[in-house]
A and B are shown apart, each in its own frame.
Chain A
């Protein structure tokens, strides 16, 4: 059973197609993210689902029934806004009670539900506080509680972590996932931050220029991207231009521009010998110790970038700078600046996609 289903949704603003023929389904109770760079149309898509925009084409179904004719205040889709949009003229309790009052529930029922939801989000007893008295993370939870108290079929979240500082954002990622489990409601989460999408989601759709590039689990998107855009956008990667020389099955010979010829794996069909292509190699798939049958790059260590567990070795090989992940960077690290070293990568870890027109 699908809680949310979008079919061939299209929205055009003047000559700009913000959302172009997008179709997807979100299974009940799952955490679905739409990941894309800013301006890719993800906010327009969400606003159409909430009812603030009307699609030019296509259909939106919630629990199987089309909601195109349903005004936004009657849809069982609630939204957590980017800047939360808590009502400053009401206290916390009134903020949460607002939707229940709109529904005309009884006073005692409202009081019970407000107290209940505040307990569930771990903030009992804040009902009398003013919005300005809460911290960023607490406001976040209130904004979610304000929606969840109405038992929506789908909860939309529009980059709600964008305004928080880094530490709190990391914490809220985990908390959001826990809240979603607890309420077991379908979450549709919009973000441009890939780590938010990868950590929290059951399924992620990568959106670019109004279209969905790929829908899949975070693992699929990361390990088996189907387009060059997904390979480049999700996760860190080395990205080099080249030309296809020969293809045999998945195995593809690519001559890198100003670099060696390597054996890589075709990420998609449609590559032909002689066509321009791009090779994507993730930093953590490059190894400084020899691997049999792997591609070898030789160069000198340009610099060591320390970033805790995400540290990088930058290897200069001709014109090219190769990023290599180095989990531990301390006295035990074998290389130093200026060393001549080689790096190996298995053909399975070098993905080839046709070169993109732009970008």
Chain B
């Protein structure tokens, strides 16, 4: 066998699982959902094709309001995760010693060993009416009766920031890690204040990491289901909840598929807008290295 044949065989063998995964688990289901979303039910086992499902979505304010609300809370979660994650990433990448860096990274990863569900229940234990925080507030005399801290937007945002912040920290650490200290010193030496150095040197340098982290956290937040439902309650008005409702509660697969397509298109549009505004591309951020 010629060596070029061997290398081609290797390539095919390596590529096949990836291709199967992409085609069977991503492309085919998406085509299926797209097809389903265009199918309208006019009678039992009677269907026609058109954009009726999409028109329904736009005619019902509760649907698109939920989508907008989901998007805006996800943006808020992303921004908060960035503000919380940046100092943490800065500490891990630039201030911590080489040896403690691995330990710090590990500490960030530990929450991931526990499932989303268990983590959400952890928050519930803390924040419910009979939970730890409520009890502590009563004990110090801050409130006279038990307080319910669950089932509001603030709790949902806190819970979601907690679940996604790691995905902000990791790309930030990897970009900040590569920055030469001399760049910062040159920034000061040439007369820059702390703020100038941060704005003109650190942020532009870290921009690929910032954008990558923001894309990942935004997508995770907008597509999350457990945290908003468990911490926000039945009325959390989260778009994934609407999709679940359509599929499971109402058995309206066509409508559920439409919502699925709309969520994908809408979040992609937000990411695209973010990339355009920051002048980055997918290749320079998420696909880096």
Contact A147 B182 (CB under 8 A): no
The contact of B182 among A77, A83, A90, by CB within 8 Å, is A83
Cβ contacts under 8 Å, A166 to chain B? none
CB-CB under 8 A from A89, the residues of chain B are: 201, 204-205, 207
- The distance from the CB of B67 to the nearest CB of chain A, in whole angstroms, is 36
**Contact indicator B201/A72 (Cβ below 8 Å):** no
Those of A103-122 within 8 Å (CB) of chain B: 103
With contacts A52-B185, A81-B185, A83-B180 known, is A147 near B204, CB below 8 A?
Answer: no
Chain A, Cβ-Cβ closest to B190: A99
Interchain CB contact under 8 A, A85 and B200? no
Q: Give the number of A-B contacts (CB < 8 Å).
A: 63
Given contacts A72-B188, A73-B188, A98-B200, contact A85 B182 (CB under 8 A): yes
Secondary structure class of chain B's binding surface, majority of residues:
helix
Chain A: interface secondary structure?
A: mixed
Is A102 in contact with B185, judged by CB distance below 8 angstroms?
no
Classify chain A's interface size.
Answer: 20 to 34
Chain B 36-55 against A: per-residue CB contact (8 Å), 1 yes, 0 no?
00000000000000000000
User: CB of B192 within 8 A of chain A?
Assistant: yes
Task: Indicate whether B61 reaches chain A with its CB closer than 8 angstroms.
Answer: no
Q: Is the CB of B196 within 8 A of A85?
A: no
Known interface pairs A83-B180, A87-B201, A89-B204. Does A98 touch B190 (Cβ–Cβ under 8 Å)?
yes
B190–A146 CB distance below 8 A? yes
Mark contacts of B101-130 with chain A using CB atoms, 8 A cut-off: 1 yes-contact digit, 0 otherwise.
000000000000000000000000000000
Sample 22 A-B pairs with CB under 8 A, ordered by A number.
A50-B185, A50-B189, A51-B188, A52-B185, A73-B191, A73-B192, A73-B193, A74-B191, A77-B189, A78-B190, A79-B185, A79-B186, A81-B186, A82-B182, A85-B182, A85-B185, A87-B201, A98-B200, A99-B191, A102-B192, A147-B190, A150-B190
Interface residue ranges, B against A (CB under 8 Å): 180, 182-183, 185-193, 196, 200-201, 204-205, 207
What are the 7 tightest A-B residue pairs by CB atom distance, in nearest-first order? Answer: A99-B190, A85-B182, A89-B204, A102-B191, A85-B186, A81-B182, A73-B188
Q: A: which residues have CB within 8 A of B? A: 50-52, 71-74, 77-79, 81-83, 85, 87-90, 98-99, 102-103, 146-147, 150
